Amino acid sequence: MKGLQKLFIILPGLLIAASAGSCNLDVTDSGKGRIVLGDSATIVTEHDAQYLEDAFTDLEDTALEEQLRPDEDSFNNVAKAQQLAQQQQQDSIAKVKAAEEQKKKDADAAKKKEAQRKQDEKDRKKNKKQTASQKKKAEEEKKKKRR
């Protein structure tokens, strides 16, 4: 038991010593070790103009100021916003009306379909009656001929 306790104490100590010994923090050669401020070997530079282009606009860019249009009157902006709101309201009303009309058309089409179905059913019944009466007449004629 005591040997096992010693093993649990010695093993972590060996692991710590091995990991500390494997680190070499004194290396300052290019591409090895840590980054040192002012070391020319750790400075990254680019000479290709393609990669030096500015991909993002600056906050102080004049094009951005032109896009903002600070000279517009705020009253006109309010009037435009009101016009836009009215237009949106009219568009939504028109959509509702169009939806109601479509529902009416669908209901009318369904009524016509139902009426046509009922008419077809009546016609079938009528044809059945006619064929039944024709069969009866044919049977009666056969009986008359037999007599």
The string of pLDDT tens digits covering residues 26-82 is 554 555 667 777 777 766 677 777 777 777 766 665 665 666 665 556 666 788 888
Using the predicted structure, report yes or no on whether residue 94 has a pLDDT greater than 90.
Answer: yes
pLDDT of residue 76: 67
Cα–Cα distance for residue pair 45/30, rounded to 1 Å: 14
100-104 average pLDDT score:
95
Helices vs. strands in the chain: H and E counts, helices first? 3, 0
| Residues whose CB falls within 8 Å of the CB of residue 24, separated by 6 or more in sequence, listed in order | 33
Q: Band the pLDDT of 134: cuts 50, 70, 90.
A: confident
pLDDT of residue 1: 67
